[in-house]
Structure 1
Amino acid sequence: RQSTERQILKEACEMIDTGNLAGDARRAIVLACEKWHAGVIGIVASRIVDRYCRPTVLISLENGQGQGSARSIRHFQMHQALAECSDHLEAFGGHAMAAGLRIRSERIGSFTERFVDLANRTLTCKDLEPSLRLDAEVGLNDLPDALVNELQRLQPFGMGNPKPKFASGMLQLAGEPRVVGKTGQHIQFALSDGRITRKAIAFNQKDSLQPLLDHRRCRVAFEPILDTYNGRTSVKFQVIDMAFPE
């Protein structure tokens, strides 16, 4: 399933980049393909939103019928947008940030034109700037195991109850980072403030490896998790983003 997801993401990004489908004149993305698996296009749509910061609709086609998954950004109400395009759709449902739809293949062109035009009229350039909402800036000593365990009790997390996210101050790389994962797409490393060291994992951020090695210092946005290894539990950072010294 993960290899299928990676392949669809690769193909979708190639379509976007070669077709300039995420330029200033296109503030939404609609892509369709016959070989895409309908069961994973929702996950891929979320990845594309993260990468291009645009409302995204991915459509899996089979025998002239399309099944689509839509994901949005904070300033674009997806369900309302699909309602305004409903004359091009067989069916749709969802909420402000995510939706599903059915569409006939011959209507995809007209739907895309309407949907992108709606996004162009609704969204400003500022709306398309990536942003990350963080709860607080914390020191390494501010998140002991007991507190992180208490944060886990806030589950289930979701739209109305997002996972707690924090920012660190400038930290020093402790030891050498290493790439992990089947294709080396993740980075595993440790960060220190001179007194405390925390392990960290950055998923799908291999592009940050070289800057991390060059600077050996960074600030991170992260979600704290509890990691158990050899019977010992400790706080670990699941890194969302990194910022390096200028």
Structure 2
Amino acid sequence: MIEVFRIDGVEFGELRAELAGIKGHVSVGQLVFSIAPRINAAGRLGDANRAVELLVTDDQDKARLLVKELDNENKRRQMIQQAVVDEALLKVNAEADLKNENALVLANAGWHPGVVGIVASKIKEEFNRPTIIIALENGSGKGSARSVAGFDLYEALTACKTHLDGYGGHPMAAGLTLSNQKLEDFKKAFIDFANERLTKENLQTILTLDSEMALQDITPRFMEFLDKLSPYGPGNMRPKFAIRNVEIAGVPKVIGKTGEHIRFKIKQGLKSYPAVGFGLSNKYEMLITGQPVDIACVVETNEWQGNTSIQMNVRDIKRAVT
């Protein structure tokens, strides 16, 4: 069940296709977004030793059972995570003062501690400010924090440590524990610290683009060049491009369980490519006007059900300046 494959010359243990429905070559993207979440789900919701067993066992029957178990666990994690995200968004609308508070501290009994880190990342991305999500249980809380550029989480937690039972991490991500009795004092101290260190300008979302290009520039040679730049990740993010004055071909489609994403097709001259915008369904009305738009995107290879195609992973959309 366990085989060896290579990604950019590095050997990894493969969980064969059963783990994530992957066939053939396993890309870095598939490893990060398909295989890793299933491995991580074991520890988030239960016993992480199951993932270790899967990686080391030579028993194919046992491995198949573990693969199925981890896949089911990952699906359960996704459901729990979405429920916590939805509740956290409601809390922001009900409790947070976004005009006067440069950070978010959200806590609730019943939130699963195994997903607070993922939820903190999503809420941070939505509101572009330091975010702490805390799961409360039996009189204490376990929290996870995510930050924005220019705000050192570890420094902030150190400044508030009198309200904490424990903490650790680095400038961009951290974890903490505290008693319920100290929650409100900690929340006030953390938000006060953020208000002192961050300005409204710091909280503005800035999308930095690497270059401008046209659809006709996307050639097999170009895609090969992008592939040679991988693996991508912190310190080597995928290049983002501006593509101006593109037409929308056909009718855009809102997708996702809660209708938060959008899929459409862009055209420029004789060239056209599919595009997907995660979290950009609010741009739907702009896309159906028939007017040209400018997009900021990552050019990527999409692999789905055995088919490979080039698509634009869109990060932002604006009306074209004519």
Partner of 1:221: 296
* 1:102 to partner: Cα distance: 1.6
* 1:114 to partner: Cα distance: 0.9
Query: Do residues 50 (structure 1) and 128 (structure 2) align?
Result: no
Q: 1:31 aligns with which of 106, 121, 135?
A: 106
* Cα distance per residue 1:88-125 (max 9 Å; x no partner): 22222222211111222211111111110011111111
Query: Do residues 114 (structure 1) and 182 (structure 2) align?
Result: no
Whole-Å separation in 2 of the counterparts to 1:108 and 1:75: 25
Contact 1:215 1:245 in 2 (8 A): no
Say which SS state the counterpart of residue 102 (structure 1) adopts. Answer: strand
Say which SS state the counterpart of residue 313 (structure 2) adopts. Answer: strand
Contact 1:144 1:235 in 2 (8 A): no
Whole-Å separation in 1 of the counterparts to 2:79 and 2:305: 30
* Cα distance per residue 1:197-238 (max 9 Å; x no partner): 011111222211122112442211212111246866332111
Q: How does 1:1-246 map to 2 (within 5 A)?
A: 1-23=77-99, 25-228=100-303, 233-245=308-320
The alignment's TM-score, normalised by the length of structure 2, stands at 0.70
Gaps of 5+ in 2: 1-76
Which protein has the bigger helix share?
Answer: 2
Say which SS state the counterpart of residue 143 (structure 2) adopts. Answer: strand
Bigger drift between 83-92 and 195-204 goes to 83-92
Say which SS state the counterpart of residue 114 (structure 2) adopts. Answer: coil
Contact 1:61 1:67 in 2 (8 A): yes
* Cα distance per residue 1:12-68 (max 9 Å; x no partner): 122112224322x21111010112122222222122222211111010111122111
- Across the aligned residues of Structure 1 and Structure 2, the Cα RMSD in angstroms comes to 2.0
Contact 1:145 1:235 in 2 (8 A): no
Pairs aligned (count)? 245
Bigger drift between 3-12 and 100-109 goes to 3-12
Whole-Å separation in 1 of the counterparts to 2:295 and 2:160: 40
Bigger drift between 146-155 and 6-15 goes to 146-155
Q: Select the structure with the greater relative contact order (CA < 8 A; seq sep ≥ 6).
A: 1
Contact 1:145 1:226 in 2 (8 A): no
Gaps of 5+ in 1: none
Contact 1:145 1:234 in 2 (8 A): no
**CA distance 1:156–1:103, shift in 2 (3 Å):** farther
Whole-Å separation in 1 of the counterparts to 2:294 and 2:128: 22
Whole-Å separation in 2 of the counterparts to 1:57 and 1:229: 35
The alignment's TM-score, normalised by the length of structure 1, stands at 0.91
* Cα distance per residue 1:145-181 (max 9 Å; x no partner): 3433432343343322222222211210011111223
Bigger drift between 178-187 and 30-39 goes to 178-187
Bigger drift between 176-185 and 228-237 goes to 228-237
Largest Rg, 1 or 2: 2
